[in-house]
Amino acid sequence: MKLRNSAGVYYFQKKKYLAVDDFVDADVAKIISDEYVKLAKEDTENKLNDSQCPINSKAWYGQPMCEYVMVDCLPKMEEITGLKLFPTYTYMRVYGPGEELHYHSDRPSCEISVTINLGQSGKFDWPIWYADPDDLTVRMPVSVQPKEAMIYRGCDVPHWREKFNPPKTTDWQCQLFLHYVNKFGPFQQFAYDRREQLFIEPIGKSEYYKELMETTDNDRKIRFSIVKRTEESGE
């Protein structure tokens, strides 16, 4: 992991966002992106599209392999932000040509968020844009390439992506969002996104969610990879 600004915690506290290189393990990123790109191609009736990205992107809430990553990243998120955090939920999107992410800020469960580029189909740059919360007329594009991430205060910093126009009509970009709240902050009641615990379906969701929450072989690969790295590092 390498912070793009050496000021680290101070920079994040002042600017409310911070770019990080090599944020996620390459093998983990590949396992997840391969899985969800395949699912995106197979699932022609994905039911989790939302108003932030209304055209055709495929999205998944709270997938087990993604929540393993969210828990694994908790110590580095606390180190970078200088906060004690509760994990809330994850969201996965596979973007295709012509899609965009509308200008928005996030709900309370996304108080502290990170967007991670898990992989893309070729060499291109599709930046995420941020507006300075102290002066919304100041707008900044930030490049996030595979394995790189942007950490930001989701409720405070408006963000969006302009239309995705990659070189090929078959190109894609796989993006994972991890969300947290300050343990001692105003949104602490949103821990686990108000679920009883992680790795269970959100309250009030349909049978479709139950199918999505089933553990797969790749979920076990992710968990094994995380445990193996932890044992090797002696943590």
Q: How far apart are CA 190 and CA 164, in angstroms?
A: 32
Residue 203 has pLDDT above 50, yes or no: yes
Average pLDDT over residues 122-127: 96
User: How high is the pLDDT of residue 218?
Assistant: 60
Domains contained in the chain, CATH given: 2-233 (2.60.120.620)
Q: Which of 176-180, 216-220, 228-232 has the highest mean pLDDT?
A: 176-180
**Integer angstrom CA distances of residue 134 from 13, 105, 185:** 13, 14, 21
User: How high is the pLDDT of residue 68?
Assistant: 94
Handedness of CA 137, 138, 144, 150 (dihedral sign): negative
Give the pLDDT band (50/70/90) at residue 95. Answer: very high
Q: What are phi and psi of 138, to 5 degrees?
A: -90, 115
User: How high is the pLDDT of residue 51?
Assistant: 62
Q: Which of 110, 88, 114 is nearest to 191 (CA)?
A: 88
Task: Name which of 11-15, 136-140, 165-169 the model is least confident about.
Answer: 11-15
User: How high is the pLDDT of residue 58?
Assistant: 84
Instruction: Concatenate the DSSP letters of all residues of 137-166 into one string.
Output: EEEEEE---TT-EEEE-TTTS-EEE-----
**In the beta sheet, which residues pair with residue 18?**
151
- Supply 134's token pair: 């102290």
Q: Is 73 helix (H, G, I), strand (E, B) or coil?
A: coil
Task: Name which of 3-12, 81-90, 96-105 the model is least confident about.
Answer: 3-12
Average pLDDT over residues 219-225: 53
**pLDDT digit string, tens, across residues 42-66:** 876 655 556 676 566 788 889 999 9
Q: What angle do CA 96, 100, 103 make, to 5 degrees?
A: 155
**Integer angstrom CA distances of residue 163 from 70, 92, 156, 204, 228:** 28, 18, 23, 32, 39
**Integer angstrom CA distances of residue 170 from 104, 122, 207:** 27, 10, 31
Look up residue 50 and give its DSSP letter.
B
Task: Name which of 84-98, 168-182, 211-225 the model is least confident about.
Answer: 211-225
